[in-house]
Protein backbone atom coordinates (compact mmCIF):
# COMPACT_ATOMS: atom_id res chain seq x y z
CA UNK A 1 0.00 0.00 0.00
CA UNK A 2 1.19 3.54 -0.70
CA UNK A 3 1.11 6.36 1.82
CA UNK A 4 -1.42 8.20 -0.34
CA UNK A 5 -3.80 5.21 -0.33
CA UNK A 6 -3.70 5.21 3.47
CA UNK A 7 -4.38 8.96 3.59
CA UNK A 8 -7.27 8.56 1.13
CA UNK A 9 -8.80 5.81 3.24
CA UNK A 10 -8.56 8.02 6.34
CA UNK A 11 -10.31 10.88 4.55
CA UNK A 12 -13.03 8.58 3.25
CA UNK A 13 -13.75 6.93 6.60
CA UNK A 14 -13.09 10.10 8.63
CA UNK A 15 -11.08 7.89 10.91
CA UNK A 16 -7.44 7.29 11.72
CA UNK A 17 -8.25 4.45 14.06
CA UNK A 18 -6.02 1.40 14.30
CA UNK A 19 -7.40 -1.57 16.21
CA UNK A 20 -4.93 -3.75 18.07
CA UNK A 21 -5.65 -7.45 17.80
CA UNK A 22 -4.00 -8.65 21.03
CA UNK A 23 -5.87 -11.91 21.38
CA UNK A 24 -5.75 -13.55 24.78
CA UNK A 25 -7.73 -16.79 25.11
CA UNK A 26 -8.37 -15.99 28.78
CA UNK A 27 -10.17 -12.78 27.82
CA UNK A 28 -12.20 -13.58 24.72
CA UNK A 29 -15.85 -14.63 25.05
CA UNK A 30 -16.04 -18.19 26.33
CA UNK A 31 -18.52 -19.33 23.68
CA UNK A 32 -15.78 -18.97 21.05
CA UNK A 33 -13.51 -21.48 22.75
CA UNK A 34 -15.43 -24.46 21.42
CA UNK A 35 -14.69 -23.43 17.82
CA UNK A 36 -11.82 -24.93 15.85
CA UNK A 37 -9.74 -21.73 15.77
CA UNK A 38 -11.05 -19.35 18.45
CA UNK A 39 -8.23 -16.81 17.89
CA UNK A 40 -9.01 -16.36 14.21
CA UNK A 41 -12.76 -16.50 14.83
CA UNK A 42 -12.50 -13.72 17.40
CA UNK A 43 -10.41 -11.57 15.02
CA UNK A 44 -12.75 -12.20 12.11
CA UNK A 45 -15.82 -11.16 14.09
CA UNK A 46 -14.05 -8.05 15.45
CA UNK A 47 -12.95 -7.11 11.93
CA UNK A 48 -16.42 -7.71 10.48
CA UNK A 49 -17.95 -5.45 13.15
CA UNK A 50 -15.44 -2.59 12.95
CA UNK A 51 -13.79 -2.43 9.50
CA UNK A 52 -15.93 0.54 8.41
CA UNK A 53 -14.69 2.54 11.39
CA UNK A 54 -10.99 1.60 11.36
CA UNK A 55 -8.28 2.11 8.75
CA UNK A 56 -5.70 -0.26 10.22
CA UNK A 57 -5.41 -3.45 12.27
CA UNK A 58 -2.38 -4.30 14.34
CA UNK A 59 -1.94 -7.87 15.56
CA UNK A 60 0.56 -7.90 18.41
CA UNK A 61 2.79 -10.78 17.36
CA UNK A 62 3.71 -11.79 20.92
CA UNK A 63 0.17 -12.87 21.59
CA UNK A 64 0.26 -15.26 18.62
CA UNK A 65 3.80 -16.48 19.25
CA UNK A 66 2.74 -17.38 22.80
CA UNK A 67 0.36 -19.98 21.36
CA UNK A 68 3.05 -21.61 19.23
CA UNK A 69 2.13 -23.18 15.89
CA UNK A 70 -1.59 -22.69 16.65
CA UNK A 71 -0.96 -18.98 17.14
CA UNK A 72 1.00 -18.62 13.90
CA UNK A 73 -1.73 -20.37 11.95
CA UNK A 74 -4.31 -18.00 13.43
CA UNK A 75 -2.10 -15.02 12.54
CA UNK A 76 -1.71 -16.27 8.97
CA UNK A 77 -5.48 -16.70 8.63
CA UNK A 78 -6.10 -13.25 10.10
CA UNK A 79 -3.77 -11.42 7.73
CA UNK A 80 -5.07 -13.45 4.77
CA UNK A 81 -8.63 -12.53 5.73
CA UNK A 82 -7.74 -8.84 5.95
CA UNK A 83 -5.86 -8.86 2.63
CA UNK A 84 -8.57 -10.71 0.75
CA UNK A 85 -11.72 -9.29 2.28
CA UNK A 86 -10.53 -5.75 3.06
CA UNK A 87 -7.59 -4.90 0.80
CA UNK A 88 -7.97 -1.17 1.58
CA UNK A 89 -7.06 -1.78 5.24
CA UNK A 90 -3.50 -0.98 6.37
CA UNK A 91 -1.97 -3.89 8.27
CA UNK A 92 0.68 -3.64 10.98
CA UNK A 93 2.70 -6.53 12.37
CA UNK A 94 3.52 -5.26 15.85
CA UNK A 95 6.65 -7.33 16.21
CA UNK A 96 9.29 -4.86 17.46
CA UNK A 97 12.02 -6.74 15.61
CA UNK A 98 15.55 -5.62 14.77
CA UNK A 99 18.83 -7.48 14.36
CA UNK A 100 22.06 -7.38 12.34
CA UNK A 101 21.64 -6.87 8.60
CA UNK A 102 21.21 -10.37 7.21
CA UNK A 103 18.89 -11.28 10.10
CA UNK A 104 16.74 -8.17 9.70
CA UNK A 105 16.34 -9.10 6.04
CA UNK A 106 14.93 -12.44 7.20
CA UNK A 107 12.43 -10.74 9.49
CA UNK A 108 11.46 -8.29 6.77
CA UNK A 109 10.76 -11.12 4.33
CA UNK A 110 8.75 -13.00 6.94
CA UNK A 111 6.42 -10.07 7.57
CA UNK A 112 6.39 -8.23 4.23
CA UNK A 113 6.49 -11.17 1.81
CA UNK A 114 5.36 -14.40 3.46
CA UNK A 115 2.65 -12.88 5.64
CA UNK A 116 2.15 -9.84 3.37
CA UNK A 117 1.75 -7.18 6.05
CA UNK A 118 1.91 -3.54 4.93
CA UNK A 119 4.17 -2.62 7.84
CA UNK A 120 6.12 -3.89 10.81
CA UNK A 121 7.27 -2.25 14.04
CA UNK A 122 11.05 -2.25 14.56
CA UNK A 123 13.29 -1.39 17.54
CA UNK A 124 16.10 1.10 16.83
CA UNK A 125 18.69 0.03 19.42
CA UNK A 126 21.01 -1.70 16.91
CA UNK A 127 21.12 1.29 14.55
CA UNK A 128 21.15 1.90 10.81
CA UNK A 129 22.06 -1.50 9.39
CA UNK A 130 19.46 -3.21 11.57
CA UNK A 131 16.65 -1.05 10.15
CA UNK A 132 17.65 -0.37 6.53
CA UNK A 133 16.92 -3.97 5.42
CA UNK A 134 13.27 -3.31 6.33
CA UNK A 135 13.25 0.07 4.56
CA UNK A 136 14.38 -1.54 1.30
CA UNK A 137 10.88 -2.91 0.61
CA UNK A 138 8.85 -0.70 -1.72
CA UNK A 139 5.35 0.33 -0.57
CA UNK A 140 5.98 -1.33 2.78
CA UNK A 141 6.46 0.67 5.98
CA UNK A 142 8.87 0.33 8.86
CA UNK A 143 7.41 1.75 12.05
CA UNK A 144 10.36 2.62 14.26
CA UNK A 145 10.01 2.83 18.03
CA UNK A 146 10.81 6.38 19.07
CA UNK A 147 9.09 7.26 22.34
CA UNK A 148 7.07 4.44 23.84
CA UNK A 149 4.06 4.72 26.11
CA UNK A 150 5.19 2.41 28.93
CA UNK A 151 6.48 3.41 32.35
CA UNK A 152 10.09 2.41 31.60
CA UNK A 153 10.02 4.10 28.19
CA UNK A 154 12.08 7.03 29.40
CA UNK A 155 14.78 4.88 31.07
CA UNK A 156 16.96 5.11 27.97
CA UNK A 157 14.82 6.96 25.39
CA UNK A 158 14.76 9.94 27.75
CA UNK A 159 18.52 10.16 28.36
CA UNK A 160 19.95 13.55 27.45
CA UNK A 161 22.77 13.47 24.89
CA UNK A 162 24.08 16.86 23.81
CA UNK A 163 21.12 19.13 23.07
CA UNK A 164 18.73 16.22 22.48
CA UNK A 165 17.22 13.24 24.19
CA UNK A 166 17.98 9.77 22.83
CA UNK A 167 14.53 9.38 21.22
CA UNK A 168 15.07 12.70 19.38
CA UNK A 169 18.40 11.38 18.09
CA UNK A 170 16.56 8.28 16.90
CA UNK A 171 14.01 10.37 14.98
CA UNK A 172 16.61 12.69 13.50
CA UNK A 173 19.16 10.02 12.60
CA UNK A 174 16.56 7.71 11.07
CA UNK A 175 15.64 10.44 8.58
CA UNK A 176 19.16 10.16 7.13
CA UNK A 177 18.85 6.42 6.41
CA UNK A 178 18.34 5.00 2.95
CA UNK A 179 14.65 4.90 1.92
CA UNK A 180 13.67 6.98 4.97
CA UNK A 181 10.44 7.82 3.16
CA UNK A 182 9.27 4.32 4.16
CA UNK A 183 9.50 5.18 7.86
CA UNK A 184 6.73 5.78 10.35
CA UNK A 185 7.32 6.26 14.08
CA UNK A 186 5.78 4.91 17.29
CA UNK A 187 5.05 7.69 19.79
CA UNK A 188 3.08 6.91 22.94
CA UNK A 189 -0.12 8.83 23.65
CA UNK A 190 0.82 8.99 27.31
CA UNK A 191 3.45 11.65 26.55
CA UNK A 192 1.58 14.46 24.69
CA UNK A 193 3.99 17.07 26.10
CA UNK A 194 6.63 15.68 23.73
CA UNK A 195 4.53 15.76 20.56
CA UNK A 196 5.38 19.31 19.56
CA UNK A 197 9.12 18.62 19.50
CA UNK A 198 8.54 15.33 17.70
CA UNK A 199 6.51 17.01 14.96
CA UNK A 200 9.25 19.58 14.51
CA UNK A 201 11.75 16.78 13.83
CA UNK A 202 9.46 14.58 11.69
CA UNK A 203 6.84 16.84 10.11
CA UNK A 204 6.16 14.55 7.12
CA UNK A 205 5.96 11.02 8.48
CA UNK A 206 3.11 9.03 9.94
CA UNK A 207 3.06 8.59 13.70
CA UNK A 208 1.52 5.46 15.18
CA UNK A 209 0.21 6.37 18.60
CA UNK A 210 -0.64 3.64 21.09
CA UNK A 211 -1.69 4.30 24.65
CA UNK A 212 -5.09 5.95 24.12
CA UNK A 213 -7.70 4.36 26.38
CA UNK A 214 -6.54 1.61 28.76
CA UNK A 215 -3.07 3.18 29.12
CA UNK A 216 -4.49 6.64 29.88
CA UNK A 217 -3.61 8.75 26.82
CA UNK A 218 -5.97 11.51 25.66
CA UNK A 219 -7.10 11.70 22.01
CA UNK A 220 -7.55 15.49 21.93
CA UNK A 221 -3.98 16.06 23.09
CA UNK A 222 -2.67 13.65 20.49
CA UNK A 223 -4.60 15.27 17.64
CA UNK A 224 -3.59 18.79 18.60
CA UNK A 225 0.10 18.21 17.92
CA UNK A 226 0.08 14.94 16.00
CA UNK A 227 -2.08 15.79 12.98
CA UNK A 228 -0.47 17.42 9.94
CA UNK A 229 -1.94 18.93 6.76
CA UNK A 230 -1.65 15.47 5.26
CA UNK A 231 -3.02 13.80 8.44
CA UNK A 232 -0.10 11.35 8.98
CA UNK A 233 -1.49 10.00 12.22
CA UNK A 234 -2.75 6.60 13.31
CA UNK A 235 -4.11 6.14 16.81
CA UNK A 236 -4.30 2.64 18.19
CA UNK A 237 -6.75 1.19 20.65
CA UNK A 238 -6.62 -2.48 21.61
CA UNK A 239 -8.19 -3.56 24.89
CA UNK A 240 -10.71 -0.70 24.98
CA UNK A 241 -12.32 -2.05 21.82
CA UNK A 242 -11.71 -5.77 21.53
CA UNK A 243 -12.45 -6.50 25.19
CA UNK A 244 -15.35 -4.06 25.57
CA UNK A 245 -17.45 -7.09 26.51
CA UNK A 246 -16.59 -10.71 27.28
CA UNK A 247 -20.11 -11.89 26.47
CA UNK A 248 -21.95 -12.71 23.24
CA UNK A 249 -22.48 -8.99 22.62
CA UNK A 250 -18.73 -8.41 22.21
CA UNK A 251 -18.92 -7.43 18.54
CA UNK A 252 -21.70 -4.93 19.20
CA UNK A 253 -19.80 -3.39 22.12
CA UNK A 254 -16.54 -3.33 20.15
CA UNK A 255 -18.33 -1.53 17.34
CA UNK A 256 -19.83 1.01 19.76
CA UNK A 257 -16.46 1.81 21.32
CA UNK A 258 -14.80 2.06 17.91
CA UNK A 259 -17.62 4.37 16.76
CA UNK A 260 -17.09 6.58 19.79
CA UNK A 261 -13.41 7.01 18.87
CA UNK A 262 -14.19 7.44 15.17
CA UNK A 263 -16.62 10.26 15.96
CA UNK A 264 -13.99 12.03 18.07
CA UNK A 265 -11.53 11.59 15.22
CA UNK A 266 -13.97 12.98 12.63
CA UNK A 267 -14.17 16.15 14.76
CA UNK A 268 -10.37 16.43 14.80
CA UNK A 269 -10.03 16.08 11.03
CA UNK B 1 19.54 -24.33 34.26
CA UNK B 2 21.45 -22.53 37.02
CA UNK B 3 24.44 -20.30 36.43
CA UNK B 4 26.64 -22.73 38.36
CA UNK B 5 25.62 -25.63 36.11
CA UNK B 6 26.69 -23.61 33.09
CA UNK B 7 30.01 -22.74 34.73
CA UNK B 8 30.57 -26.41 35.64
CA UNK B 9 29.89 -27.47 32.06
CA UNK B 10 32.41 -24.91 30.78
CA UNK B 11 35.07 -26.20 33.19
CA UNK B 12 34.40 -29.80 32.24
CA UNK B 13 34.50 -29.21 28.48
CA UNK B 14 37.21 -26.52 28.67
CA UNK B 15 35.05 -24.56 26.30
CA UNK B 16 32.83 -21.51 26.43
CA UNK B 17 31.76 -21.94 22.84
CA UNK B 18 28.22 -21.16 21.74
CA UNK B 19 27.24 -22.29 18.26
CA UNK B 20 24.72 -20.17 16.39
CA UNK B 21 22.15 -22.19 14.47
CA UNK B 22 21.27 -19.66 11.76
CA UNK B 23 19.86 -22.08 9.24
CA UNK B 24 19.53 -20.82 5.68
CA UNK B 25 18.19 -23.33 3.16
CA UNK B 26 20.26 -21.63 0.44
CA UNK B 27 23.46 -22.40 2.33
CA UNK B 28 23.03 -25.87 3.80
CA UNK B 29 24.33 -28.92 1.90
CA UNK B 30 22.03 -29.64 -1.01
CA UNK B 31 21.71 -33.35 -0.22
CA UNK B 32 19.71 -32.45 2.90
CA UNK B 33 17.00 -30.68 0.92
CA UNK B 34 15.34 -33.93 -0.13
CA UNK B 35 14.67 -34.86 3.52
CA UNK B 36 11.34 -34.16 5.18
CA UNK B 37 12.65 -31.46 7.51
CA UNK B 38 16.02 -30.23 6.19
CA UNK B 39 16.29 -27.45 8.80
CA UNK B 40 15.98 -29.80 11.75
CA UNK B 41 18.11 -32.46 10.07
CA UNK B 42 20.90 -29.93 9.52
CA UNK B 43 20.73 -28.78 13.16
CA UNK B 44 20.66 -32.34 14.46
CA UNK B 45 23.75 -33.34 12.50
CA UNK B 46 25.61 -30.16 13.53
CA UNK B 47 24.68 -30.78 17.18
CA UNK B 48 25.69 -34.46 16.99
CA UNK B 49 29.08 -33.46 15.57
CA UNK B 50 29.90 -30.60 17.95
CA UNK B 51 28.09 -31.04 21.28
CA UNK B 52 31.25 -32.25 23.06
CA UNK B 53 33.01 -29.00 22.07
CA UNK B 54 30.24 -26.47 22.72
CA UNK B 55 28.36 -25.52 25.89
CA UNK B 56 25.53 -23.60 24.25
CA UNK B 57 23.49 -23.44 21.05
CA UNK B 58 21.77 -20.31 19.85
CA UNK B 59 19.11 -20.59 17.15
CA UNK B 60 18.56 -17.18 15.60
CA UNK B 61 14.78 -17.01 15.63
CA UNK B 62 14.54 -14.80 12.52
CA UNK B 63 15.84 -17.62 10.35
CA UNK B 64 13.04 -19.91 11.54
CA UNK B 65 10.33 -17.26 11.46
CA UNK B 66 11.27 -16.56 7.84
CA UNK B 67 10.11 -20.08 6.94
CA UNK B 68 6.73 -19.66 8.61
CA UNK B 69 5.03 -22.67 10.20
CA UNK B 70 7.67 -25.01 8.74
CA UNK B 71 10.36 -22.94 10.45
CA UNK B 72 8.61 -22.95 13.82
CA UNK B 73 8.17 -26.72 13.67
CA UNK B 74 11.88 -27.12 12.93
CA UNK B 75 12.72 -24.81 15.85
CA UNK B 76 10.48 -26.79 18.17
CA UNK B 77 12.11 -30.07 17.11
CA UNK B 78 15.59 -28.56 17.52
CA UNK B 79 15.02 -27.31 21.06
CA UNK B 80 13.28 -30.59 22.01
CA UNK B 81 16.24 -32.54 20.64
CA UNK B 82 18.69 -30.43 22.63
CA UNK B 83 16.66 -30.68 25.85
CA UNK B 84 16.14 -34.44 25.59
CA UNK B 85 19.44 -35.60 24.17
CA UNK B 86 21.78 -33.01 25.72
CA UNK B 87 20.14 -31.57 28.84
CA UNK B 88 23.50 -30.16 30.02
CA UNK B 89 23.62 -27.77 27.04
CA UNK B 90 22.62 -24.12 27.63
CA UNK B 91 20.08 -22.98 25.05
CA UNK B 92 19.61 -19.42 23.80
CA UNK B 93 16.66 -18.14 21.79
CA UNK B 94 18.24 -15.26 19.90
CA UNK B 95 15.00 -13.37 19.48
CA UNK B 96 15.84 -9.80 20.53
CA UNK B 97 12.32 -9.29 21.86
CA UNK B 98 10.98 -6.58 24.17
CA UNK B 99 7.61 -4.88 24.51
CA UNK B 100 5.31 -3.38 27.14
CA UNK B 101 4.84 -5.47 30.27
CA UNK B 102 1.93 -7.76 29.45
CA UNK B 103 3.36 -8.39 25.98
CA UNK B 104 6.84 -9.18 27.27
CA UNK B 105 5.26 -11.71 29.62
CA UNK B 106 3.78 -13.38 26.52
CA UNK B 107 7.16 -13.54 24.81
CA UNK B 108 8.80 -14.85 27.99
CA UNK B 109 6.25 -17.64 28.26
CA UNK B 110 6.66 -18.54 24.60
CA UNK B 111 10.42 -18.99 24.92
CA UNK B 112 10.87 -20.09 28.55
CA UNK B 113 7.81 -22.29 29.00
CA UNK B 114 6.41 -23.48 25.67
CA UNK B 115 9.73 -23.92 23.90
CA UNK B 116 11.69 -24.40 27.15
CA UNK B 117 14.80 -22.40 26.24
CA UNK B 118 17.22 -21.55 29.07
CA UNK B 119 17.56 -17.97 27.89
CA UNK B 120 16.37 -15.35 25.43
CA UNK B 121 17.98 -12.21 24.02
CA UNK B 122 16.05 -8.99 24.74
CA UNK B 123 16.38 -5.41 23.44
CA UNK B 124 16.55 -2.70 26.14
CA UNK B 125 15.06 0.27 24.28
CA UNK B 126 11.69 0.16 26.08
CA UNK B 127 13.25 0.09 29.56
CA UNK B 128 12.60 -1.60 32.89
CA UNK B 129 9.03 -2.83 32.54
CA UNK B 130 9.78 -4.35 29.12
CA UNK B 131 12.59 -6.50 30.56
CA UNK B 132 11.49 -7.35 34.11
CA UNK B 133 8.76 -9.76 32.93
CA UNK B 134 11.56 -11.90 31.46
CA UNK B 135 13.67 -11.63 34.61
CA UNK B 136 10.84 -13.00 36.73
CA UNK B 137 11.47 -16.57 35.54
CA UNK B 138 13.62 -18.58 37.95
CA UNK B 139 16.70 -20.36 36.52
CA UNK B 140 16.05 -18.71 33.14
CA UNK B 141 18.31 -15.98 31.77
CA UNK B 142 17.58 -12.72 30.00
CA UNK B 143 20.43 -11.73 27.73
CA UNK B 144 20.14 -7.98 27.29
CA UNK B 145 21.62 -6.23 24.25
CA UNK B 146 24.25 -3.81 25.51
CA UNK B 147 26.86 -3.15 22.82
CA UNK B 148 26.21 -4.95 19.56
CA UNK B 149 28.77 -6.03 16.97
CA UNK B 150 27.19 -4.51 13.86
CA UNK B 151 28.27 -1.37 12.02
CA UNK B 152 25.27 0.69 13.18
CA UNK B 153 25.62 -0.53 16.76
CA UNK B 154 27.13 2.74 17.93
CA UNK B 155 24.46 4.96 16.27
CA UNK B 156 22.52 5.12 19.53
CA UNK B 157 24.38 2.77 21.92
CA UNK B 158 27.42 5.01 21.54
CA UNK B 159 25.72 8.33 22.29
CA UNK B 160 27.29 10.16 25.20
CA UNK B 161 24.91 11.02 28.05
CA UNK B 162 26.51 12.68 31.07
CA UNK B 163 29.69 10.81 31.95
CA UNK B 164 28.57 7.61 30.21
CA UNK B 165 27.58 6.25 26.85
CA UNK B 166 24.07 4.91 26.37
CA UNK B 167 25.18 1.25 26.44
CA UNK B 168 26.92 1.91 29.78
CA UNK B 169 23.68 3.35 31.13
CA UNK B 170 21.92 0.21 29.93
CA UNK B 171 24.39 -2.03 31.80
CA UNK B 172 24.33 0.06 34.97
CA UNK B 173 20.57 0.64 35.06
CA UNK B 174 19.75 -2.99 34.32
CA UNK B 175 21.64 -4.04 37.46
CA UNK B 176 19.05 -2.14 39.52
CA UNK B 177 16.10 -4.08 38.08
CA UNK B 178 14.23 -6.77 39.97
CA UNK B 179 15.88 -10.20 39.64
CA UNK B 180 18.95 -8.66 37.99
CA UNK B 181 20.84 -11.81 38.90
CA UNK B 182 19.07 -13.44 35.94
CA UNK B 183 20.70 -11.05 33.49
CA UNK B 184 23.45 -11.71 30.97
CA UNK B 185 24.61 -9.15 28.39
CA UNK B 186 25.35 -9.16 24.67
CA UNK B 187 28.66 -7.46 23.89
CA UNK B 188 30.07 -7.65 20.36
CA UNK B 189 33.54 -9.10 19.84
CA UNK B 190 34.22 -6.41 17.26
CA UNK B 191 34.61 -3.83 20.04
CA UNK B 192 37.29 -5.25 22.41
CA UNK B 193 38.42 -1.73 23.35
CA UNK B 194 35.18 -1.38 25.31
CA UNK B 195 35.46 -4.63 27.27
CA UNK B 196 37.46 -3.24 30.16
CA UNK B 197 34.85 -0.59 30.97
CA UNK B 198 32.07 -3.12 30.55
CA UNK B 199 33.67 -5.54 32.99
CA UNK B 200 34.04 -2.74 35.52
CA UNK B 201 30.29 -2.12 35.36
CA UNK B 202 29.18 -5.78 35.25
CA UNK B 203 31.93 -7.85 36.90
CA UNK B 204 29.65 -10.72 37.92
CA UNK B 205 27.41 -11.42 34.95
CA UNK B 206 27.83 -13.61 31.91
CA UNK B 207 28.65 -11.84 28.64
CA UNK B 208 27.50 -13.40 25.38
CA UNK B 209 29.94 -12.32 22.71
CA UNK B 210 29.01 -12.66 19.05
CA UNK B 211 31.17 -11.39 16.21
CA UNK B 212 34.18 -13.73 16.48
CA UNK B 213 35.05 -15.13 13.06
CA UNK B 214 32.97 -13.99 10.09
CA UNK B 215 32.37 -10.56 11.65
CA UNK B 216 36.08 -10.02 12.40
CA UNK B 217 36.33 -10.21 16.22
CA UNK B 218 39.44 -11.67 17.85
CA UNK B 219 39.13 -14.37 20.53
CA UNK B 220 42.31 -13.42 22.43
CA UNK B 221 41.12 -9.83 22.87
CA UNK B 222 37.74 -11.00 24.10
CA UNK B 223 39.24 -13.43 26.63
CA UNK B 224 41.70 -10.90 28.00
CA UNK B 225 39.03 -8.58 29.35
CA UNK B 226 35.92 -10.75 29.19
CA UNK B 227 36.89 -13.70 31.42
CA UNK B 228 36.36 -13.43 35.17
CA UNK B 229 37.41 -15.69 38.07
CA UNK B 230 34.11 -17.46 37.57
CA UNK B 231 34.49 -17.47 33.75
CA UNK B 232 31.14 -15.77 32.92
CA UNK B 233 31.81 -15.66 29.20
CA UNK B 234 30.18 -17.28 26.19
CA UNK B 235 31.62 -16.69 22.73
CA UNK B 236 29.40 -17.37 19.77
CA UNK B 237 30.35 -18.52 16.31
CA UNK B 238 27.70 -19.21 13.69
CA UNK B 239 28.69 -19.14 10.02
CA UNK B 240 32.34 -20.04 10.68
CA UNK B 241 31.23 -23.40 12.04
CA UNK B 242 27.91 -24.40 10.54
CA UNK B 243 28.82 -23.33 6.99
CA UNK B 244 32.44 -24.54 7.10
CA UNK B 245 31.51 -26.73 4.15
CA UNK B 246 28.44 -26.95 1.93
CA UNK B 247 29.20 -30.53 0.92
CA UNK B 248 28.62 -33.93 2.52
CA UNK B 249 31.64 -33.35 4.79
CA UNK B 250 29.90 -30.42 6.53
CA UNK B 251 29.69 -32.12 9.94
CA UNK B 252 33.37 -33.08 9.87
CA UNK B 253 34.39 -29.56 8.88
CA UNK B 254 32.06 -27.99 11.46
CA UNK B 255 33.61 -30.22 14.11
CA UNK B 256 37.14 -29.24 13.04
CA UNK B 257 36.37 -25.52 13.20
CA UNK B 258 34.64 -25.91 16.57
CA UNK B 259 37.64 -27.88 17.82
CA UNK B 260 39.99 -25.12 16.71
CA UNK B 261 38.00 -22.57 18.76
CA UNK B 262 37.68 -24.93 21.72
CA UNK B 263 41.45 -25.43 21.82
CA UNK B 264 42.01 -21.66 21.82
CA UNK B 265 39.47 -21.38 24.60
CA UNK B 266 41.13 -24.12 26.68
CA UNK B 267 44.33 -22.07 26.55
CA UNK B 268 42.48 -18.98 27.80
CA UNK B 269 40.89 -20.80 30.74
Rounded Cα distance, A119 and A96, in Å: 11
From the list B175, B266, B185, the residue with the least C-alpha distance to B226 is: B185
Does the CB of A77 have a partner CB in chain B at under 8 Å?
Answer: no
- On chain B, the residues whose CB falls within 8 A of the CB of A98 are 96, 123
Cβ–Cβ of A162/B162 closer than 8 Å?
A: no
How far A230 CA sits from the closest chain B CA (Å)?
A: 29
CATH class name, domain B3-268: alpha beta
* pLDDT at B214 > cutoff 70: no
* pLDDT at B191 > cutoff 90: no
Q: How confident is the model at residue B212 (pLDDT cuts 50, 70, 90)?
A: confident
All structural domains of chain B with their residue ranges: 3-268
pLDDT at B80: 98
Q: How confident is the model at residue B5 (pLDDT cuts 50, 70, 90)?
A: very high
Does the CB of A154 have a partner CB in chain B at under 8 Å?
Answer: yes
pLDDT at A192: 75
- Report the interhelical angle of B250-268 vs B38-50 (nearest 10°): 40
Cβ–Cβ of A126/B148 closer than 8 Å?
A: yes
* pLDDT at B221 > cutoff 90: no
Among B96, B109, B164, B260, the active-site one is: B96
**Beta carbons of A144 and A164 less than 8 angstroms apart:** no
Cβ–Cβ of B128/A155 closer than 8 Å?
A: yes
The DSSP secondary-structure symbol of B54 reads -
* pLDDT at B59 > cutoff 90: yes
Q: State ipTM.
A: 0.93
From the list A159, A166, A184, the residue with the least C-alpha distance to A127 is: A166
Does the CB of B114 have a partner CB in chain A at under 8 Å?
Answer: yes
Q: For the full predicted model, state whether its pTM sits above 0.90.
A: yes
Residues 6+ apart with CB under 8 A from B238: B19, B20, B21, B22, B58, B60, B210, B213, B214
Q: Mean pLDDT in each 10-residue stretch from start to end of chain A (269 residues)?
A: 97 98 95 96 98 98 90 96 98 94 90 96 96 97 95 96 97 98 94 88 96 78 92 96 96 97 95
Of A22, A65, A98, the CB nearest to B110: A65
Report the mean per-residue pLDDT for chain B.
95
pLDDT at A139: 97
Among A44, A70, A96, A164, the active-site one is: A96
**Beta carbons of A209 and A236 less than 8 angstroms apart:** yes
pLDDT at A221: 86
Output phi, psi for A163, to 5 deg: -90, 10
Does the CB of A48 have a partner CB in chain B at under 8 Å?
Answer: no
**Beta carbons of B92 and B56 less than 8 angstroms apart:** yes
Of A76, A123, A166, the CB nearest to B159: A166
Of A107, A128, A150, the CB nearest to B127: A150
The DSSP secondary-structure symbol of A81 reads H
Amino acid sequence: MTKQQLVDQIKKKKSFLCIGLDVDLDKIPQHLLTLEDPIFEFNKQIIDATHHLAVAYKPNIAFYEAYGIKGWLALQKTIDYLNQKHPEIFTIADAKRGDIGNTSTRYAKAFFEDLNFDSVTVAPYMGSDSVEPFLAFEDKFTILLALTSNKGGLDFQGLQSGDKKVYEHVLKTALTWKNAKNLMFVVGATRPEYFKTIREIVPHHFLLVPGVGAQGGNLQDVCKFGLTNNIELLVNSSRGIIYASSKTDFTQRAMENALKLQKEMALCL
